[in-house]
Structure 1
Amino acid sequence: MKFIKLVLLFCLFLNFTFLANAQTPSMIKGDAIYLNPYKGNDTNAGTKENPLKTLSEASRRVNQASGEGAITVYLSSGVYGMNETADFNPVNKKFSKANRLIIRAEILPDDISWKPSDMPILISTMPFSVEKNDKGEVTGGQNFGILIQNSHITIQGLRVLGEPVHENPSKGILIRNYPIVWEGKNLEDFRITQCLFIGDKIAIPNHLAVLANGKALEVDHCVFYGVKDAVVMWNNPGTESSMHHNLIIDSYGGIVWTWSATSDFKFYNNVISNANVLWILDKAEKESFLIENSIIVGYNSYVNKGGGPQGFGENANPEKLKAGKDVILKKEGRLEIIEDQTDTLYLHIKPGTLGSNLGAGLFAK
C-alpha cells in the first residue's frame, strides 16, 4: 500500500511538472517569433500558429537567446498598444551584419499584395518617467517605445504613432514620447526602413521618431508625417551614417539633428514639404554637411545650431550646410500629397508632380 501511494505521488509530481512547464513561456523555437495583437497570447510559443500578443514579450524572448545567428520578429497587421517599453538587449546573443535581429511587418510595402492597411500600427499608451532639475522641480517626462541596445538591427515596415498626451502641461514642462531609441556603448549598424511615422501636434504628438546613438545608422524609404522631429543623432560619433529616399511632411520641429554625425553623413534623395527647421547642427558647428539630389519646398529655417527637447537653437552659419546643384530648394510652397486612404500611394507625393521622381517613400523597388 505504501508503495502504491509513493507511485501515485510520483505520478502527480510528474503531471504537475508537465503542466507548469507547459504554461511557462518557452524560449525561441528556431529563428523566428510571430506576433498578432488580436489572436496572440504572451504565454504562447511565439510560432506562426501560436503567436505572441505584445512586442515587449517578444523582446523578453529575444533577450533570453544565446549564441550566434539571425532572429526575425514578425508583426501581423493590427494595432499594438505599447503599455511598456520593448527593450531589446540580448547580452548573450551575437548578431552580425549578415545575421541580424530584424523586427518587421509580415507583409512589406514591396510585396505585390501589400496595402497601407496591412501595416502593423504601434501606439504608445505607457506612463512617463518624471524628470527633475537640481532644485527638485519637475521639468518633464519621457518614455521609450522600442529601445534597441545592440548592433546589427533592422526595423522594417511598421506604422509608428506617438502617444495621446498633452505635451506642455505647464510652462517649461515637456512630456515626450520617443518611439524608437538606439542607445548604448560602441553600437554600429542600425537600419530603419520602409516605416511610416505619423504624429499630430494636438491629438497624438510624435515628439521624435528616431533617437540614435551609434555609427552606421541608415534611415531610408520612410515617411514622416506630422512628427515634431524626424531623426536625431547624438552622443557617440555617428560615422558612416545616411538618410536617403525619405519623405518628410509637415514637421514642426527639426528634420535632422546631426549633433554627433561626422561629415561623411550622406543625405540624398529625400523629399521635404512644409518643415520648421531643415537641419540642426551641434552648438559648436564642428562639421559641415552636403545635401544631394533632394527637393525641399517650404521651410522656416534652413540650418540652426544647438537646441534641445524644448527648443530648436539659433541660426547657424549657412555655409555649414551646402546644397548640391541637383537640389531644389524653395522657401515657400507645398508639395502635393495623396490623402486617399485606399490608394497604395497614401501619404506619398502625387505621381507626375514635383518630388515624385526621386523614389522617396515606402517603396524600395
Structure 2
Amino acid sequence: MSTIVYAQQQAQTIFVDPVSGSDTNSGTSIAPLKSLKHAVSLANGNDIAGTFTIKLLPGLYVLEDKVQLERKTAGLVIEASDLPDSKDWNPYKMPVISSVSANNSTVQFPHAAGILVAMNNVKISGLKFIGNANPVTRYYYPISRKDTLATGLEISQCYFIGERNAAPIQAAVWVHGSKLMVDHCVFFECKNALVLIENIRDFSMTNSIVYGAYEAAVWFGAYHTPVRFSNNVISNCNFFWLRAEGTYPKYEFQNSLFAGNQSFMGHYTKSGLKPAGRNEHIEKNVQKNTKKVELITVGQKGLITNYLHLSNGTMGSELKAGIFK
C-alpha cells in the first residue's frame, strides 16, 4: 500500500489549500490537497468510525458541479483552518466558496446546488459563500439537503453574500429534515436566507444577521416543535417569515430586532406571497423599527474585520449578531 493511500485511510483530518496544494498529496497540513471536491471524495470513502474533518486554508474554491457529502459511517466537518475567533484570523483568510455550475439537480425543478448534504451530522463553519454567476443558472443554493429524514446540520460563522444583478443566491440554505442549527451567520442580499419546508424539527437560528432578503428571510413549512429563534437581526427584507396558507403556529421569537422590513409575517400561496392577517406566534423582548439598520461596508481600504456587521452602540448591536462568538 502506498504511503499516500495509507495516510488518507488513517486520517481523521485532511487539509486543503487551493493555492499551493495538490490532489496527489496526502492531505496533511504540510502536504495539503488542492480541491474541495477531492477532499470530499476521500471523506465519503473513509469508513473509520468517528467524525471526519476537512480543513480549508485561505483561497478561492471554485465549484464546477455540486459537491455531495455522503459519508456512511459517521459525521463530517468542513471548516476554515482559522475560524473568525482565532487569534490570527482576518477576513482575507476566510475560504471563499464560489459555484460556476450550470443546473446540476432536477429535484423539484432545475437548479444548482453548491454543497449537497446527503448524510446526517454535518457541520460547516467559517466559510464565505458567494453567488453563482453562470447565466444559465437561475436558482442557486449554496447549501442544500433534500432528504426529509436527514438529521443534524450545523452552519456557523459563515457569510452568504449574493449580488442579484450578477451572482444571485436564490436561497442560502435550502433544507428538509431535522436538527438544523444556524448560528452566528450573516446573510447579505440573498433572495432568501433560509428555505425550510418538509419535516422541519428542532430548528434553531441564533445570533445571525439577515439583510436585504428581497423575497423573504425565512420560508418555513409544516411546523414541528421546538423552534429556537433568538438574538437575530432581520433588516431591509421584503418579508421576514413566510409559512403555508391557513397555518397559525405558535413560534416564539426572542431577543431580536426587526428593522426596516416591508412586511413581517406572510403566506406563500399559489397566487403569490401575501401578508398574514392572523398570527399566533409569541414575541419576547423583540424590537421593531421602521428604519433599517446600518451595516459596516467595505470602503477604499478593502475588507475590514467586522464588515457587514453592526457598529458598536448602534441599534441591535447589543444582540451580538454576526460571525464572531
CA contact (8 A) 1:192 1:220 kept: yes
Which of the residues 158, 163, 187 maps onto 1:195?
158
Evaluate the alpha carbon distance shift between residue 121 and residue 28 of structure 1 in structure 2; reply closer, same or farther with a 3 A threshold.
farther
| CA drift at 1:320 | 3.4
CA contact (8 A) 2:257 2:287 kept: yes
CA contact (8 A) 1:165 1:205 kept: no
Aligned to 1:149: 118
Show the 5 A alignment for 1:276-355: 276-285=238-247, 287-307=249-269, 313-324=273-284, 326-330=285-289, 332-340=290-298, 341-355=302-316
| CA drift at 1:327 | 0.8
Which of the residues 245, 248, 252 maps onto 2:214?
252
Show the 5 A alignment for 1:1-365: 27-91=8-72, 93-95=73-75, 101-129=76-104, 141-166=110-135, 175-236=138-199, 238-285=200-247, 287-307=249-269, 313-324=273-284, 326-330=285-289, 332-340=290-298, 341-364=302-325
Max radius of gyration: which structure? 1
RMSD across aligned positions (CA) = 2.4
Evaluate the alpha carbon distance shift between residue 318 and residue 53 of structure 1 in structure 2; reply closer, same or farther with a 3 A threshold.
farther
Evaluate the alpha carbon distance shift between residue 185 and residue 299 of structure 1 in structure 2; reply closer, same or farther with a 3 A threshold.
closer
Gaps of 5+ in 1: 1-17, 96-100, 134-139, 168-173
Aligned to 1:171: none
Identity of aligned residues (%): 30
Structure 1 counterpart of 2:242, one-letter code: I
For 1:129 and 1:72, how far apart are their aligned partners in 2?
25
For 2:256 and 2:264, how far apart are their aligned partners in 1?
14
For 1:249 and 1:320, how far apart are their aligned partners in 2?
25
Q: Deviations over 1:159-190 (max 9, x none)?
A: 001101447xxxxxx81111001232532221
Q: TM-score, normalised by structure 1?
A: 0.82
CA contact (8 A) 2:101 2:134 kept: no
For 2:9 and 2:223, how far apart are their aligned partners in 1?
36
| CA drift at 1:127 | 1.6
Aligned length, in residue pairs: 322
Q: TM-score, normalised by structure 2?
A: 0.92
| CA drift at 1:342 | 3.9
Gaps of 5+ in 2: none
Q: Deviations over 1:174-222 (max 9, x none)?
A: 8111100123253222110000110011011011101111111110100
Structure 1 counterpart of 2:23, one-letter code: D
Structure 1 counterpart of 2:113, one-letter code: F
Worse-superposed segment, 142-151 or 258-267: 258-267
Evaluate the alpha carbon distance shift between residue 31 and residue 24 of structure 1 in structure 2; reply closer, same or farther with a 3 A threshold.
closer
Q: Deviations over 1:256-290 (max 9, x none)?
A: 11113424211110012201110011234152312
Structure 2 counterpart of 1:347, one-letter code: L
